[in-house]
Structure 1
Amino acid sequence: MSPFRVLVIDDSEMAREGIRMILKNTPDFIIVAEGSSGEEAIELSEKWMPDLVLMDIQMPGMGGLEATKRLKEKYPYLKIVMVTVSDDIAHLFDALKKGAQGYLLKNLNPGAWHDYLKAIAIDEVPMTRDLAFRILKELSPSGIAHSQSNPLTARESEILALVAKGLSNKEISSQLEISEHTVKNHLKNILQKLHLANRVQLARYAYEQSWLGKNSDKS
């Protein structure tokens, strides 16, 4: 498989150097270009057509969130991961609303970057348990929307709850004693039924619909 083409956008040269160091020893990624602003993110994306953009949030001129919104409108296929020092939950939700597929803190252990970014690139991103907990904690009861009907089967609802708790496909297959392939097919059906694009959106949806914590029978 060809390496995923990465565009790095950060106004800090030190941050870009750090990302280069993290990615240089893996054959799965190749950095095709670097920039320091949202404007450059748009310009370089058009020129290089990357698979993945690592985007800082706060930059002079156009920030990363606005650049993400514009890039996703123009290139829906493009995977964008926000890379930031901020762990503000508001930034996370704003990034998701703008279309970002992931969110990495710059102080995260470099060893975790590779697996996370590869999972993003191949659409197999698990929600981290810490992130799932923080989202659950931040959502107040008044902010939770309740759907009138659940279009999912009992098994699909069960899998959705496990995704939102941060379990990977492998962990879900082990816990439910079904094959990983079956889990993937269930997830495809869930995404299609709910008109969602990825696991992060699934997890957020589960919290908003207050489906977590409900026990489902196996189907």
Structure 2
Amino acid sequence: MLLTTVLIADFEKAGRATCQRLLQLEKKIKVVGEARCGLEAMTAAAKLKPRVLLLDPSGVEGEGVYLVSTILEKSPKTRIILLSERASDADILDALSQGALGYLAKPALASYLTKAVRAVAAGEAWVPRRMVGRLIDQLAPGQA
């Protein structure tokens, strides 16, 4: 299996450090960079072309989820997981509709971060179970 490269974009230093600490234990995952804001995330993703981008959009002024589509324009093969303390179902759906492949609540990082990174790197989606019905309803209204 190839090495999965990861870029961490979180406006909080503690958030970046937590992700770094959890991922450094994985032999097949390598953190290739960090970003502190949306502009740094766009620049780093375009330059580094990471397999996975961990993105906390809460530090971005305005609509943070729209940063997803902008980053994907610059690095189309990068797979994005949004990180947040808490996000509404609507925010998660917006991010997924912009091209993100996953969402992970920050309180769940210790339990699920490496699993989410591996899953998204393999092309799978990573969303809370409560979202599955809503996602199906978005794709086929009235079928969920």
Asked if these proteins are the same fold (TM beyond 0.5), I'd say yes
Q: Which amino acid aligns with 2:37?
A: S
Change in 2 beyond 3 A, CA 1:124/1:107: same
Name the one with the larger strand percent.
2
Could you say which structure has the larger radius of gyration? 1
How many percent of aligned residue pairs carry the same amino acid? 24
Q: 1:37 to 1:127 in 2, by over 3 A?
A: closer
Which digits, 9 at most, give the CA deviation of each residue in 1:144-173, with x for residues without a partner?
A: xxxxxxxxxxxxxxxxxxxxxxxxxxxxxx
Aligned-pair CA distance for 1:60: 4.3
Superposition deviation, residue 209 in structure 1: 2.4
| CA RMSD, Structure 1 to Structure 2 (Å) | 2.1
SS of the residue aligned with 1:11?
Answer: coil
Match of 1:49 in 2: 49
Instruction: Give the deviation of 1:48 after TM superposition.
Output: 1.0
Q: How far 1:109 moved relative to its partner?
A: 5.1
Q: Does 1:211 align with 2:143?
A: yes
Unaligned stretches of 5+ residues in structure 1: 136-200, 213-219
Tell me the equivalent position of 1:13.
Answer: 13
Under a length normalisation based on structure 1, what TM-score does the superposition of the two structures give? 0.59
Matched residue, 2:31: 31
Q: Counterpart in 2 of 1:3?
A: 3
User: What is the CA–CA distance in structure 2 between the aligned matches of 1:48 and 1:91, rounded to whole Å?
Assistant: 27
The question of whether the paired residues in 2 share the 8 Å contact of 1:6 and 1:31 is answered with: yes
Secondary structure of the equivalent of 1:125?
coil
Runs (5+) with no aligned partner, structure 2: none
Aligned counterparts of 2:61 and 2:120: Cα–Cα separation in 1? 27
Q: Quickly say closer, same or farther: Cα 1:44–1:62, change in 2 above 3 A.
A: farther
C-alpha offsets along residues 79-103 of structure 1, whole Å, 9 cap, x if unaligned?
Answer: 0110011231121011112111100
What SS does the aligned partner of 1:5 have?
strand
- Alignment-mate amino acid for residue 76 of structure 1: P
For the 8 Å contact 1:37–1:64, the answer to whether it is kept is no
